[in-house]
Amino acid sequence: MFESTMQDFPLTVGLLFRHGRTVFGESEVTTLVGDSVRRASFAEVADRAEQLAAAFRRLGIADGDRVGTFMWNDQAHLEAYLAIPCMGAVLHTLNIRLFAEQLTYVANHGEDRIVIVDDSLVPLLAKVAPDLKTVEHYLVVGNGDATALEDAAAGADVLRYDELLAAEAPGFDWPDIDERAAAAMCYTSGTTGNPKGVVYSHRSTVLHSMSVNAANAVGLTERDRVLPIVPMFHANAWGMPYSAWFAGASFVMPERFLQAEPLAKLIESERPTVAGAVPTIWSDLLRYADEHGTDLSSFRIVVCGGSAVPRSLMERFEERHGVRIVQGWGMTETSPLAALSHPPLGVPLGTPEEMDLRAHTGRVIGGVELRITDDRGEPLAWDGEQVGEIEVRGPWVTASYYRDPSPEKFDNGWLRTGDVGMVTPNGFVQITDRAKDVIKSGGEWISSVELENLLMAHPDVIEAAVIGVPDPKWSERPLACVVRGAGSSVTAEQLQEFLSERLARWQVPERWAFIEEVPKTSVGKFDKKVLRARHGAAELEVEVLE
């Protein structure tokens, strides 16, 4: 091998940390606190991250030890994002919306030694604290009552975050870290059985951050103000904490205030330019903004993902508020960004063709390789027609799960995503369904995603989820579970007629259920397994049309 002359310089979170701290020390982190905001510069946040690392070292945290966070999107959480991996420990973000049994499993399986918790979440964490086997210390952020956690901590110390930091001086001696070492870990609930752990390396985190900041992706710069609405416990907030810090983009942190009204007021006062959240958040914000005339003009781009983004949602935001929503796709296993639906050269902005492409799941970003395979595992052509399972590989794609080999999820170096779809010749991916959600009716495939998007384009429909249910003649047929808008009395017949104008007749559901709300997973996705269980238990009032 003819070797290069380049330095073998490690790609670590420390590289991101130092760059943001020194080059962009005046960028700021703004956190919503009730009716006011708290501000700190990057330099001040970096000083506190050093104090946090020193406190962890005094508490005995060593290389590779896991430190859990049970927190909202706030400044302290960002400090943990920086301090924990830079000192050689492993950041483990705990999902505050998991059921108690799952949360207990995740913390025990990850063997967290410390958990940092926001004071408003103390009562929630206290419910599982007696069952957390490896936690030695709880660090409470804020001055709220921590009695419940002290009573339930089962021998672990309950300490105050700010008091610990105050006892330490800036100037921590950061260690040299191997870029292949673990930096962070998240558990995905998108699999069967117990949640599965994905462990990100320092190298994968840096490369993912660079990719997010590329002009073909989100393209963050110092001029941006980033509003991460997607929780920081969900796939590391789609990588935004690290990519924004690296780019010097200021943060606007919503803390626990994720409802439409406080978000709208925060957007108007702090003028973010970039944001990321799941479609349900944007749907609520759209309704509020329509009713109250909210000024959303500061946004240059909004990234939406986590589940299929209805075309109607993108169209309404752009037509009514001038907000450009771009659909993205990825998984916890892909760090998570793998595709983003920017239209290609030659497609004019604001045209139906451009919206057609933005309605795609995403265009593969540089650094990720993607293929679709048939039932035998053979690759299929990128022709925009053939449908198969989507598989991916790349430097920020996981090669396994933590202490759970799951060989069925991997195929000779490729991650089997469980998503089914097609790819155009120029790399636009269109997911037609999750493999477990595909509806096979009379030998033909029906896309539940397409049905849901079309239904949510109806002005009287707030949410819609479609599941397959048994049928004696066709083996399986779609059941449309619909949430009507306020004051709407739209009927199944009217919705069926609406779909009949847009789909082949055999694809249109004859089974309908009107529900109060579509159940959601812990990360805001439609939870169809709950709907299937409710249908199996005859808990849904189903109307069958001829």
Among all residues, which ones are annotated catalytic?
Answer: 188, 333, 440, 445
What is the Cα–Cα distance from 279 to 277, expressed in whole angstroms? 7
Residue written as tokens 């508020």? 321
Written as one letter, the residue type at 137 is H
Identify each DSSP E strand in 278-383 by its residue range.
Answer: 301-304, 325-330, 337-340, 362-364, 369-373
Strand-pair partners of 266: none
Nearest of 454, 475, 167, 129 to residue 308 by alpha carbon: 454
351 Cβ contact list (under 8 Å, min separation 6): none
Q: What is the signed CA dihedral for 348, 353, 358, 359, rounded to 10 degrees? A: 170
Rounded to the nearest 10 degrees, the angle between the axes of helix 240-247 and helix 13-23 is 40
Report the distance separating Cα 17 and Cα 242, nearest Å. 8
User: What is the C-alpha separation between 218 and 201, in angstroms, rounded?
Assistant: 22
Minimal CA–CA distance to 367: which of 344, 341, 337, 387? 337
Render 97-113 in DSSP notation, one character per residue.
Answer: TS-HHHHHHHHHHHTEE
Please spell the DSSP secondary structure of 134-175, one letter per residue.
S--EEEEESSS--HHHHHHSTT-EEEEHHHHHHTS-S---PP
Is residue 253 within 8 Å of 32, Cβ to Cβ?
A: yes
